[in-house]
Amino acid sequence: MTISVRSVSTAVPPTVIQQPDMRDLLLAQPGRSRLARRLVSAAFDASAIDTRHTVVTDLSPTSPSRRTPRPDDAPEPFFVDPADGTVLSPTTRPRNDRYVAEVPGLILEAARGALAASGGLGTGDVTHVVTASCTGFFAPGPDYVLVRDLGLPATTRRLHVGFMGCYAAFPALSAARSICAEDPGAVVLVVCVELCSLHLEASDDPDTIVASSVFADGAAAAVVTARPAPAGHLVLDLDTLRTALTPVGEQDMAWTIGDHGFEMVLSRYVPSIISEHIRGALDPLLAEVGSDCDRAAGEIGRWAVHPGGRSVLDKVQDALGLDDEQMAPSRDVLREHGNMSSATVLFILARLLDAAAAGAPGPGERETVCAMAFGPGLTVESALLTLRRADDRAAA
């Protein structure tokens, strides 16, 4: 049985922040140490990020809430005091309240886009919903919102993958694959949503500074099914998914709930840990196609590497011997959107599908895609997918 991703669609909040503007906002905060100011400049300037999207409108310097005097119809300041530009520190509850308010619109936009691009599937075909998020909580949650607001049957089965971090799209896709293996008629809507900017904090802590320079907001949805796609429709077959824990790094990447938002631990050692252990994590996966890390760069043309940050991409590229073209989709997503945690790898897969639609593969051609993401643990999740047009199913 061939189980495929029929479509991927993405959604981002309308507010865009330019990386230099965010850097300058943090540099202007009172009480920062000289070392912290140097770290802010270094982290932002080396991030390889131009823009990020956020649900926190007052992070944009053009926001009405940042103006003095503030217009009567401007939203209340959430993170930035318009009087003096001070970054505020709301407690966890109002941050989570903003998550509850903002998530429905993003997940519905992504879900509707994925269904519209799925090659003939609609809300009436969806049998299961799988959601993933780690940047907020509410119950009934995003999975319930999708069933309610898309008008899905009350009998739609639901699963939420919570608090797994940047790699959560892979467990979500794995769950969808298992559902379809058990029920060949199933159509699973997978949606990842993260509002990382809600947990911004102005701090001298190096981990917090790095987090403030890379994380952003976004949602992505995928439609997974074993039902045959229309002839010519591009799909991504879910061939193999693997998980691995590195022997070190448990304390170097973590995500905990604090009194003033969720607190990210992202130590400077993470890129080196990934570099040292990525080959051992991927070799069992690559063996599925008779390859290994020494040959993968030459045998697998398309890659979707989660951009935990520029240095993570650099280390993966060096460790696997990938060329700039193979890394381009990951670097492009990082540059335009930053790190949106679990949604990010789906943004890259959406970009690969768009590129394939504009060119190769042609009818009857097949390409292997290797995707991976990293998160707390330190966990490496990876997958092999086949990018193909549906009219070559008979040759599969």
Provide mean pLDDT across the span 132-138: 97
What does the DSSP assignment read for 28-68?
Answer: T-TT--HHHHHHHHHHHHTS---EEEES-GGGSTT-GGGSS
Q: Is the pLDDT of residue 393 over 50?
A: no
Provide the pLDDT for residue 156: 98
- Catalytic site residue from 134, 166, 192, 196: 166
> 70 or 287: which carries more pLDDT confidence?
287
- pLDDT tens digits, one per residue of 330-357: 999 999 999 999 999 999 999 999 999 8
CA-CA distance, 143 to 290, in Å (whole number)? Answer: 38
End-to-end Cα separation, the chain, in angstroms: 10
Q: Is the pLDDT of residue 39 over 50?
A: yes
Lowest-pLDDT range, 41-45, 68-72, 149-153, 303-307? 68-72
- 166 tagged catalytic: yes
182 CB-near residues (< 8 Å, 6+ apart): none
Q: Is the pLDDT of residue 316 over 80?
A: yes
Q: Is the pLDDT of residue 71 over 90?
A: no
Structure tokens at 235: 């799909």
| CATH fold of the domain at 233-390 | Peroxisomal Thiolase; Chain A, domain 1 (3.40.47)
Provide mean pLDDT across the span 358-366: 67
Split at pLDDT 50, 70, 90, the class of 279 is very high
Provide mean pLDDT across the span 187-204: 96
CB 188 within 8 A of CB 224: yes
CA-CA distance, 92 to 311, in Å (whole number)? Answer: 30
CA-CA distance, 329 to 195, in Å (whole number)? Answer: 22
Provide the pLDDT for residue 396: 40
Split at pLDDT 50, 70, 90, the class of 73 is confident
CB 122 within 8 A of CB 115: yes
CA-CA distance, 42 to 40, in Å (whole number)? Answer: 5
Split at pLDDT 50, 70, 90, the class of 360 is low
Closest CA to 156 of 177, 128, 116: 128
Q: Is the pLDDT of residue 169 over 80?
A: yes
The label of the residue with tokens 């058990």 reads: 182
Split at pLDDT 50, 70, 90, the class of 392 is low
CB 56 within 8 A of CB 77: no
Provide mean pLDDT across the span 28-41: 95
At position 34, the amino acid (one-letter code) is R
Closest CA to 165 of 83, 94, 80, 255: 255
Q: Is the pLDDT of residue 362 over 60?
A: no
Provide the pLDDT for residue 265: 80
- With 0-12 CB in 10 A as exposed, 13-18 as middle and 19+ as buried, what is 272? middle
Provide the pLDDT for residue 217: 98
Q: Is the pLDDT of residue 364 over 60?
A: no
Question: What is the rounded average pLDDT for all residues in the chain?
Answer: 94
Provide mean pLDDT across the span 132-137: 98
- pLDDT tens digits, one per residue of 171-191: 999 999 999 999 999 999 999
Provide the pLDDT for residue 394: 41
The label of the residue with tokens 């089965």 reads: 157
CA-CA distance, 32 to 188, in Å (whole number)? Answer: 48
Provide mean pLDDT across the span 262-284: 90
Lowest-pLDDT range, 88-92, 221-225, 355-359? 355-359
Q: Is the pLDDT of residue 361 over 70?
A: no
- With 0-12 CB in 10 A as exposed, 13-18 as middle and 19+ as buried, what is 144? middle
Provide mean pLDDT across the span 135-144: 97
